[in-house]
Structure 1
C-alpha cells in the first residue's frame, strides 16, 4: 500500500497570504504611480537612448581607438623590444656570470672546501681527545667541589633565614593580616550599602524624568509617524519599479518604431539601389574592364617571367663558358668497379681468404 505513494506528486506549497492593506496605502498608491510614471518615462527614454548611443560609440570608436593607442603599442614593445632585450640579457648573464661562477665552484671552491673539511675534522678529533682526557676529569672535580659548597650554603640558609622567616610569618604577620582583612571587609560592606542606596535613588529619578517620557514619545508619536512614512516610502518605491518597467516597454516600442522608420527611409532604399543599380554596374565593370585587365596583367607577367628565365639561362651559360676558358674543362670522375673480380683469386667455399685479405 505504501509503494505507490512514493511516486505521487507532493502537494504544492500554498503561498502565504499577504497582510491586508489599509486605506492609507490604497489612497496613496494610484496618484503616486501616476505622478511617478509621468516623471519616469522621459528619464527612461533618455536613458535608453544614451545606452544605445554609448554601445554604438564603444563598438565603432572607443574600442578600435583604445586597441590602436593602448594595446598594440604595448604588444609591439613587449614583442620586439622587451623579449629580445631579455633574451640578450639572459645570454650575457649566462656567459659573464653563471659560467665563471660554475668554473670557480668546480675548480676552486670545491677543492678548497674539501681541504677545509679535512682540517676541520682533524681539529675536531684533537678537541675531542682534549675533552675526553683533560676537560672531563677537571669538570667532574669541579662539580664535586661545587656540590659540597652548595650543600653547606643550603644548610646555613635553612637555619639562618628560612626558620626565622617562618616563625615571623606564623606568630606576627598572620595575626596582623587577619585584623587588617576584617577591617577592610567591614569598610567594603559600608561602601556597598551606601552605593546601593544612591544607585536606587538615581535609578528612579532617571526612570521618572527620562525613560517614561522617552517611552511615551516613541510609542505615541514616533511609531505612528514612522509607520506612515514607511507606507509612503514603500508605495513610492513600488511606483518607481512599476513606472520603470512600463517606461521600458514604452521605450522599446518607440525604439522599434524609430528602427522601422529608419529601415523604410534609409536601409531599404540603399539596399534597393545596391541590388538594382550598383550590382549590375559592378558586374559590367568586372566583366568588361577588370577581367580583361587581369588577363592582360597575367600575360605580361608570364612574358616577363619567360624573358627573365632566358636571361638567367644566358648568364649561367656565359659563366660556365668563362670558367672553361680560364680554368679548363673539369676533370671527369673515373668509374669504379664495385663488384668482386671473376678470376681464380676470388673467394671460394674451400678458402676463408678473399682478394682484399690475401697476402
Structure 2
C-alpha cells in the first residue's frame, strides 16, 4: 500500500501484499483529506496545551514546589524535630521513670510482701495439715472399710456366685436349650423346606412366566413401533426446519449481511488509518510551527535575559561574593570560634570552682561531725 505509514501502526497482515480493490483506493484518499482537515486544529490545540503545560511545570510548579519544600522544612520539620528530640523525648522518659516507680511502689511491693510473708507461710501450713489429714483418713478407710469389704467379697460372695451360676446353667440347659433344639431339628426345619418349595413353584408359574410372556410378545413390539414413529416424526421436522429456517438464514447472511459488514469494516478501517496518518502529519506540522514560535520567543525574550545574566548580574554577584559576603562570613566565623572558646574556658572555670567548693564542704563536715557510718539499704522485694 502506497502512502505515509505511521510508526505506531500495527504489523501488516499476511494478506497485506495482495492487490487491493478499486473501492478501497477510491475511499482512502477522500477520507484521509477530510481527516487531515479535521485533525489539524485538534492537533494544534493539543500540542499547544502540551507545550504550555511543560513550560508551566518547569517555570512555575518546579520553583514553587522547591520553595514550599524549603519553607516546610525550615518552618515545620526542623522545629518539630528539635521539639521532639529536646522536649518530648526527655519529658516522656522522665514520666516513664516516675510511672514505673509509682506502679512498683503502689502495686508490686505490697503484693510481693503479702505473698512472701503472709500467703506463702499460710499455704505451707495448710499443705502440711492437709497431707496429715489425708494420711489419717486413708489409714482409717483402709482399716475400717477396705479390709472388711475385701474379706466379705473373697470369702462369701465369690463362692455363693459360683454355686448359683452352675445351678442356673444346668437348669437353662435342660429346660430351654435341649427342647428348643429338638423342636427346630424335627418339626420346624422339615416344615420350612416344604413351604419354601411350594412357594417357589407358585412364584415361577403364577408370576414369572406371565411377566416374561407379556414382555416378549406385547411390550417389546409396542416399544419398537413407538421408536419408529418418533424417528419418522423427527426426520420430517428436521427437513422442514432445514428448508424453512436454515437455508433462508444462510442466504441472508451470505448475500446481505456479510457484504454489508465487509463494507462497514472497510470504512471503519480506512477512517482509523486516516486518523492515525493525519495525527502524525499534523504532529509534524505543529512541531514545525511550535519550533518556529519557540525560536522567535528565544530570540526576543530568552537571549536578552541570558545576556543580562551572563554579562551584568553574574559578574556583579561574583564581585559581591568575593569582596563583601566572604569577608563578612569569615569575620562571623572567627567571632563564633572566639565566643565558643571563651564559653569553654568559663565552663571549665565554673566546674573547677564547684569541685573546690564541694571538697571544702566535705572537709568541714568531716571535721565537725566525723565520718558517717555507711548504711546499706535493704533491697525491697
C-alpha change, 1:321 and 1:213, in structure 2 (3 Å) is closer
Task: Please report how far the alpha carbon of residue 39 of structure 1 lies from its aligned counterpart in structure 2 after TM superposition.
Answer: 1.6
Q: Aligned-pair distance for 1:33?
A: 0.8
**Distance verdict in 2 for CA 1:311–1:27, change over 3 Å:** same
Structure 2: gaps (5+ residues): 1-13, 90-95, 97-180, 365-381
* Other-structure match for 1:174: 208
Q: Find the partner of 1:299 among 313, 322, 334.
A: 334
Counterpart of 1:23?
22
Aligned equivalent of 2:244: 209
- Superimposed CA distance per residue, residues 168-215 of structure 1 (whole angstroms, 9 cap, x where no aligned partner): 664444333323433232222222232233333333333343333323
Q: 1:175 to 1:58 in 2, by over 3 A?
A: farther
With over 3 angstroms needed to count, the CA separation of the structure-2 counterparts of 1:248 and 1:166, relative to structure 1, is farther
Distance 2:289 2:199 in 1: 104
1:196 alignment partner in structure 2: 231
TM-score by length of 1: 0.52
Give the whole-Å Cα distance in 2 for the aligned partners of 1:165 and 1:241: 95
Quote the Cα distance in structure 2 between the aligned partners of 1:167 and 1:52.
109
Bigger-Rg structure (1/2): 2
Shift of 1:23: 0.9
1:34 Cα deviation after fit: 0.7
Q: For residues 38-75 of structure 1, what are the alpha-carbon distances to aligned partners after superposition, in whole Å with 9 as ceiling and x for unaligned?
A: 222333333444555667778847xx69x98xxx99xx
1:228-250 CA distance string (max 9 Å, x none): 22322222222122222223323
Structure number with higher relative contact order (C-alpha < 8 Å, ≥ 6 residues apart): 2
Aligned counterpart, 1:121: none
The equivalent of 1:308 in structure 2 is 343
| Aligned-pair Cα RMSD in Å | 4.4
Give the TM-score of the pair, scaled to structure 2. 0.49
Q: How does 1:128-167 map to 2 (within 5 A)?
A: none
Change (3 A) 1:18 1:173: farther
**What is the aligned partner in structure 2 of residue 281 from structure 1?**
316
CA deviation string 1:8-48 (max 9, x = no partner): xxxxxxx8772211111111110011111222233333344
